[in-house]
Structure 1
């Protein structure tokens, strides 16, 4: 006997119908969840399905009902704990509402984002949650919006789109960091971001293709200037990465004759790069340089010194995004809204007045 002929056959809708003593059409309606039947009939069908270990054919069901009960999610960096927590929030809400989640990673690359969305739409997902890789290259996202397929933007907004968007108040967070440092006496404050850019020296907002980066930097620069910051624009650096770029950027900043007395890291990954670079250069935090990071990653509370951070509502961003998408998938046609969640500053040991 061949291996294929000895393998148990999966139960079909017809098998469930026969076991429950109902028609195939009735069993299909109950198992598909797309028509109303009496509680007694539903119980008979579900009991039969359980006894037969029936597993629905999701592709066939989506072709029949037009719904897959799945949400497609495209995030910027699955290795970043920030997005890991957001995906957890998405998954928890989706599961509670009866939806599966299919996850893809764009790596902050628009072409990979475009391919991921194409793949997810091919799987007939009921909607998309996307962290846009660019505020400029958005035709593929606007095409989804125009098609009527629900799409929610997570963590970043696109001004030309009117879909539901869930973001943190990044401008206010940038301002809060600047105020904390200027209140401690700092006037020469640097900001280091991972956002991709050919020129690491900040020349203006035209270099910034992510709404989060732009809002944080603009909030920081505005608040620093109001508090007497000494032209902090010249201390903003872009394009730090995990391949040693942080060491060169920090070394260049600290070689300036009027070097910064404090640095802001745009996220927890950048903060770790800066922390390692400063240690390599023999610069002691906070004695020689104060440091604040965005995102309360686990490591920031156990280093010596522990790092003052802006805690962001990562889980809540994901949960709110999923809740918004579920509403749309179930037929909500009201105007898209921007949901803005607040951040908070957690004081630790990495900020003191600047050295004399």
Structure 2
């Protein structure tokens, strides 16, 4: 009797084409993830491939198409729910188009990002999605462009690079959240970020090397200025890189002569650290301190109280980035652009009037 595993390996594109009642060329386009076919034909071919347990010969496909069928993704911090959800969206879009994904983590370090990009290019990926650790360090990304490898930036934008970028509407999101706290009566606020403190206090938002952080800080500061609140840049604090550092940042803020009554966390990891810091100090949310966090992470809806958040629709961002990269790989004629995915404020129980 023929070994079943050997039988599965022997299923060919011609077998799938016959079962789907299409030509071999059409089946090859669907299974290879290139060219254009109708949804009805694609569904028939994919159903036949699944029924026959077809397994593609990746080496043969790469030789015939000149593609590896793989895209590379470099994210800032896979521990952060923002990036893990984004990768899910990217992977789903890639899989639907017939691509596999290799993921690398930079830890928000430029050198690690450069090494990851070099590694992925060495693997002959068909395209790259990169979250740049610094928007002022793009030499390696220019090299990717010169090599002709399609590139899409995620979460951060570098206009000078001239490539697609998929981001949130960071400035408007920060404006919405900050204005909500100001409208509740808060006059002493702080923005807390995990971004490394690059030395000294913030004197110029234009010097912030991360475009997403820069735009959020600009939104936060603009509302404080609009409300006539003094020293808005003093209200921006970096360095909340782990729990110990966040504890230190929060303690310093609360020990000031006019301590903040409301905090805006730059992401869900920082938000959770702030929540723990306030708990350890015996402070009640929102009675003693109000807070809002970026990202509707799972933990934010199960705390007491549940946390008001900026929902960034991250899965949609990832899916859009994946789709855009596939379009670039398949040479769809599109102008390079920044694609912004809107956000929404989800009001829960972590913001109240100060002293309420």
Scaled to the shorter chain, the TM-score interval is 0.7 to 0.9
Following the alignment from structure 1 to structure 2, what is the Cα–Cα distance between the partners of residues 48 and 288? 60
Aligned partner of 2:293 in structure 1 is 293
Please give the alpha-carbon distance, in whole angstroms, between the structure 2 residues aligned to 1:200 and 1:284: 31
- Structure 1 residue 199, shift from structure 2 partner: 3.0
Please tell me whether the aligned partners of residues 10 and 54 of structure 1 are also in contact (alpha carbons under 8 angstroms). Answer: no
Aligned residue-pair number: 337
How far the C-alpha of 1:12 sits from its partner, in A, is 8.0
For the structure 1 residues 17 and 84, does the alpha-carbon distance in structure 2 shift closer, same or farther, using more than 3 Å as the test?
closer
Closer, same or farther: CA 148–277 of 1 in aligned 2, 3 Å: same
Query: What does residue 260 of structure 1 align with?
Result: 260
Equivalent residue number for residue 91 of structure 2: 91
Give the Cα–Cα distance (whole angstroms) in 1 for the partners of residues 83 and 165 of structure 2: 16
1:304-353 per-residue CA deviation (whole Å, 9 max, x = no partner) reads 11111111010010011011111111112332111111111111111111
- How far apart, CA to CA, are the structure 2 residues paired with 1:229 and 1:49? 62
Distance 1:91 1:263 in 2: 34
Q: Distance in 2 between matches of 1:17 and 1:177?
A: 53
Distance across 1 between alignment mates of 2:243 and 2:206: 25
Q: Where do 1:148-159 residues align within 5 Å?
A: 148-159=148-159
Match of 1:100 in 2: 100
- Matching residue of 1:355: 355
Tell me if the contact between 1:187 and 1:228 (Cα under 8 Å) persists in the aligned partners.
no
SS at match of 1:190: strand
Mapped to 1, the partners of 2:121 and 2:164 lie a distance apart of 19
Please give the per-residue CA displacement for 1:140-172, whole angstroms capped at 9, x wherever unaligned. 111212332111111110121111111111010
Two-structure CA RMSD over aligned residues (Å): 3.1
What does residue 344 of structure 1 align with? 344
C-alpha distance in structure 1 between counterparts of 2:97 and 2:25, whole Å: 21
Alignment gaps of 5+ in structure 1: 1-7, 21-25, 37-42
Deviation at 1:180, TM superposition (A): 0.5
Specify the SS of the correspondent of 1:102. strand
**Stretch deviating more after TM superposition (290-299 or 199-208):** 199-208
- Which structure would you say has the larger Rg? 1
The equivalent residue for 1:216 is: 216
SS at match of 2:219: helix
Q: Secondary structure at the match of 1:79?
A: coil
Aligned in 2, Cα 1:148/1:18: closer, same or farther, shift over 3 Å? closer
TM superposition shift of 1:208: 1.7
- CA drift at 1:205: 2.2
SS at match of 1:185: coil
Q: For residue 160 of structure 2, give the secondary structure of its aligned residue in structure 1.
A: coil
C-alpha displacement of 1:19: 9.4
Q: Please report how far the alpha carbon of residue 247 of structure 1 lies from its aligned counterpart in structure 2 after TM superposition.
A: 0.5
Matched residue SS, 1:152: strand
Partner of 2:232: 232
| CA–CA separation in structure 1 for the residues paired with 2:97 and 2:35 | 18
The SS at the match of 1:258 is coil
> Hey, what's the Cα distance between the residues in 2 that align with 1:182 and 1:240?
23
Q: Which digits, 9 at most, give the CA deviation of each residue in 1:163-208, with x for residues without a partner?
A: 1111111010111111111101111110100012243743332552
Tell me how far apart the structure 2 counterparts of residues 177 and 49 of structure 1 sit (CA, whole Å).
47
Aligned CA distance change for structure 1 residues 17 and 192 (closer, same or farther; 3 Å): closer
CA distance in 2, matches of 1:311, 1:48: 38
1:1-356 matched pairs, under 5 angstroms: 33=32, 55-59=55-59, 61-199=61-199, 201-205=201-205, 207-355=207-355
CA 1:138–1:307: 2 relative to 1, 3 Å: same
Q: Which moved more, 1:226-235 or 1:322-331?
A: 226-235
CA contact (8 A) 1:242 1:273 kept: yes
- Secondary structure of the 2:291 match is strand
- Alpha-carbon distance in structure 2 between the residues aligned to 1:97 and 1:249: 45
2:19 corresponds in structure 1 to none
Q: Secondary structure at the match of 2:104?
A: strand
Q: Cα–Cα, structure 1 residues 256 and 62, in superposed 2: closer, same or farther, change >3 Å?
A: same
The 3 A distance-change label for structure 1 pair 49 and 240 is closer
Instruction: Report Cα offsets for 1:258-295 as digits up to 9, x if no partner.
Output: 11111110000001111111111122211111111111
